[in-house]
Amino acid sequence: MENVKVFSIIIAVFSVLSVESVGLKDLKTCNFGAVYNFGDSNSDTGGGSAAFWPAGKPCGETFFGRPVGRGCDGRLIIDFIPEHLGLPHLSPYLDSIGTSFRYGANFAIGGSTIRPQNESMSLNGVSPFSLDIQIVQFDQFKDRTGHFYNRSYPRHHRNLPRPEDFSKALYIFDIGQNDIAAGLRKKNDSAFHASVPDIVDQLAKAVQNLYEHGARTFWVHNTGPIGCLPVSLHYHDIKPEELDEQGCLKAQNAYSMEFNRQLKARVIKLREELPHAALTYVDIYAAKYELIGNAKKQGFVEAANICCGFHEDEIQIYCGHKQNINGTEIYAGSCENPSDFISWDGVHYTEAANRWVAHRIINGSFSDPPLPIKHACHIP
C-alpha cells in the first residue's frame, strides 16, 4: 500500500511539473466538434447490443434506469469524456434507432480485438468487428455522411456530422484487452510475445489511415491490469505466490505490461511518422491499478468483490443470468449499492469506478504528454 501511495505522489508531482514545462497556461482550449471512438466492451455504448443480442437487466440501472447497451450499471469512461467536452454521449455506429451522429460516433463493439482472431462470438465471445473492420466502417461513415450532408435538406443536418468537423475531432482508441485475453487462452507465452509487435503495428496502421483522411488528434488508451479482474481471481485455483501485493495475478498483468510497453513505443514512433498529429498515450493501467490499490481509501469495498453476478461455493453465474442449482433457480442480480464496488460483473467496471478513472485521465495525470484532454490537440 505504501508503494502505491508513493507512486501516486510521484505521478501527481511529475504531472504538475510536466504540464508547466509544456506551457499549459499559453495553450488554447481545443474546439473538438466531435468524438470518434474505436474499441471493445470497455467503451461499447450499444454496438454489441445492436449487432448481436441486447444487454439486459440489471445493466444501466444506476444512471439510465434501463439497459442501454453498456456492460455496466451506468456510464463508461467514454461517456464521461464527451460530457467533459460539453458534447452528448456517442451513438453506436450500428444502432439504427434514435441515433444522432452530429457530434461523433462510437465504433466500439464488445469482444473486439485489434488483430483479427480465428475465433467467434459464440465460441468464446470474440467479435468479428476487429479494429480493421471498425476503421472500414468509419471510412464508409465519413464518405456517406459527407455525401448526404452536401445533398440533403438542412433539416436533415442535425443528425449528421459537419464535414469540416472530421479534421477537428478527437479520435479515441480503447482496445487491446481481448488480444491479451486471447493470448492467455492459448497458454503460450512465447507465441503471445511474438505477436505483440504485429498487434501494436495494426493499431498504428489504423491511426495512419485516419491521419491520411484528415484526422489530427488521437487519444490512445493502453490496456488495464487484466490480472486484477475479479473474473480471473474467482475462476482459477490460485497459489499465493502467483499474486502481487494488490492480490492480482502477476503472470496475467505481465502480459498487459508488455503490450503497454510496446504500444507506448509505437505511439512515440508515430509522432515522428505523422508530424502534424497530436498523439496522447493514456496510461489506463496505472490509473486502474492505483484505484485497486487504494480501493478502501477511495470509498470502495475490496477490489476483488463483484457487484453483479452469483459467485459462491464454486457456483459462477454471470451478471443478469439465471441458473437452476439443485432444483432452485438462482438469479444473478446486482448488489444493493453498485457505487461501493469497483467491479460491476467481474470483467467491467462500475460507473463509480469509471468516473474515478475518467476524472484522473481527463486532467492529464496519466498521459504522455501530460496535457488535459481539452488541450490534447496541441503538439508539445
CA 144 to chain centre: 27
Catalytic residue among 18, 41, 127, 130: 41
Distance CA 266, CA 214 (A): 20
Catalytic residue among 15, 40, 345, 378: 345
Identify the CA nearest to 173 among candidates 214, 123, 147, 135: 135
Measured CA to CA in angstroms, residue 377 lies from 135, 247, 363 at distances of 21, 38, 14
Distance CA 376, CA 380 (A): 10
Distance CA 143, CA 295 (A): 46
Distance CA 91, CA 106 (A): 6
Distance CA 316, CA 232 (A): 12
The radius of gyration of the chain's CA atoms, rounded to the nearest angstrom, is: 20
Catalytic residue among 221, 311, 348, 375: 348
Residue 122 CB neighbours (<10 A)? 8
Distance CA 94, CA 97 (A): 9
Contacts of 109 (CB under 8 A, 6+ apart): 40, 41, 44, 47, 48, 51, 94, 127, 129, 134
* 8 annotated active-site: no
Helix (H, G, I), strand (E, B) or coil at 274: coil
* 345 annotated active-site: yes
Distance CA 269, CA 317 (A): 44
* 348 annotated active-site: yes
* Residues marked as catalytic: 41, 345, 348
